Structure 1
Amino acid sequence: QGRCFLSVCSISGTEPLTQWQRTFDEKQFRKDLQQTKPKWEHRSSSPIDFKSFIQSSLHTDADETAERHSRRTDVLLDSKAPNRLLGEICYQLDRRILSYIFQGHTRLYGFIMANIPNKIIEVSTHPLTGKVDQGYQLHLTQRHAELVERLSQRGYKEALHPPFTEFIVNTYGILTERPSEHSTQEMDYNNPDFLKKVIMTTAPRKLHKDLLVVLTCLCMMAEMDRKPLLFW
């Protein structure tokens, strides 16, 4: 887990022929993630009223607010960028998890963390005959279970972090512009140490622990798929 924060992910390119399609799919996926508000089943010791808990975490006293503002001025000049980076980190993890489980599907319309089991059934069922490909369904189910197990070793909780990341995305938003290629900003955005600093200097203290878990898991996914931390 500690090793993740010491490495800087390399920047990889995108094949020209697929760039437009990926951009189109990306916009739809972001729209689905931000607009969908699933009902989550309470299956852990985390707070039952999760939304109220997170909202209360966003309220900070004057001293903490002043401290965060004094430290974050050294991180980014754009006043909205640090907040949006929090949402982007969470969005990227959700997207990478879905892309890993549904590896053979380039389009992720309507795919969100809350409906993974239903989507596994849907994509393994023939749209015309209704026949279920049991082998493919088992394959996807195993990929999902194995990935959750690996993530859990880094502190990820399936009953807690999917609604947590969704709420952070809806609260803080996501990046609206990609950094220029080979720019300092692009290198910063793919530097775990930089993103950790953004979390520590921007988010309320109560959110630090789970945001760092999300970042650690994103580092793991970046190592698995050999793509940058923030990948467009």
Structure 2
Amino acid sequence: MRTGTPPRRQRRAPRSASVLNPTSSSFDEQRCAALSHRYVTLMERLKLLGYNPAVHPALAESLVNTYGILRELPEPPGPPPGPALLRHAMLAVVPPTLRADALVLLECLRELAREDGRPLFLA
């Protein structure tokens, strides 16, 4: 760790997305059905926000590959950074032809963060 860098908070362990029973390593049909239902329900909600699974996954990958990821949050004076800061940055940097779809991705991220009860930006 670099000196002067605040320690990172521990992330909670991700939920297991495996359809195998952790004890017996056999296929868990009930878990598979629950994960499939969660996926379908989530995709229906995101589609209501304009998400298109044929377009947005590749666009998200392209945006990250083109503009990178936020390794460190900028610390402007005033309130802590939030979705408004990212929206402003997107409007300033993303080409006009991609802005509408980039903003759909941002809105979907905001919805997922809201559902999880977590902030969009983790310190």
Distance 2:84 2:22 in 1: 46
SS in 2 for 1:177: coil
Number of aligned residues = 116
Unaligned runs of 5+ in 1: 1-15, 26-102, 106-119
Which amino acid counterpart does residue 134 of structure 1 have in structure 2? E
Counting only pairs closer than 5 Å after superposition, residues 61-140 of structure 1 correspond to structure 2 as 104-105=15-16, 123-126=18-21, 130-140=25-35
Distance 2:101 2:68 in 1: 17
Task: Name the one with the larger helix percent.
Answer: 1
Distance 2:77 2:118 in 1: 18
Distance 1:133 1:146 in 2: 20
Could you list the structure 1 runs, at least 4 aligned residues long, displaced by more than 4 angstroms after superposition.
Answer: 126-130
Distance 1:225 1:168 in 2: 24
Aligned to 1:167: 62
1:222 to 106, 109, 113: 113
Distance 2:25 2:109 in 1: 36
Aligned to 1:98: none
Aligned to 2:94: 203
Task: Identify if the C-alpha distance between structure 1 residues 177 and 195 changes in structure 2 by more than 3 Å, giving closer, same or farther.
Answer: closer
Task: Identify if the C-alpha distance between structure 1 residues 179 and 200 changes in structure 2 by more than 3 Å, giving closer, same or farther.
Answer: closer
Distance 1:134 1:221 in 2: 26
1:212 to 91, 103, 111: 103
Task: Identify if the C-alpha distance between structure 1 residues 220 and 132 changes in structure 2 by more than 3 Å, giving closer, same or farther.
Answer: same
CA positional deviation for 1:230: 1.8
For the Cα contact (< 8 Å) 1:124–1:137, is it kept in 2?
yes
Which amino acid counterpart does residue 104 of structure 1 have in structure 2? R
Distance 1:228 1:141 in 2: 26
TM-score (norm. length: structure 1) = 0.44
SS in 2 for 1:163: helix
TM-score (norm. length: structure 2) = 0.77
Distance 1:228 1:144 in 2: 22
CA offset digits 1:166-212 (Å, max 9, x no partner): 111112111222456xx747713x1x333222111111111101111
**Percent identity at matched positions?**
34
Unaligned runs of 5+ in 2: 1-7
- Give the alignment's Cα RMSD to 1 decimal: 2.8
For the Cα contact (< 8 Å) 1:179–1:185, is it kept in 2?
no
For the Cα contact (< 8 Å) 1:125–1:132, is it kept in 2?
yes
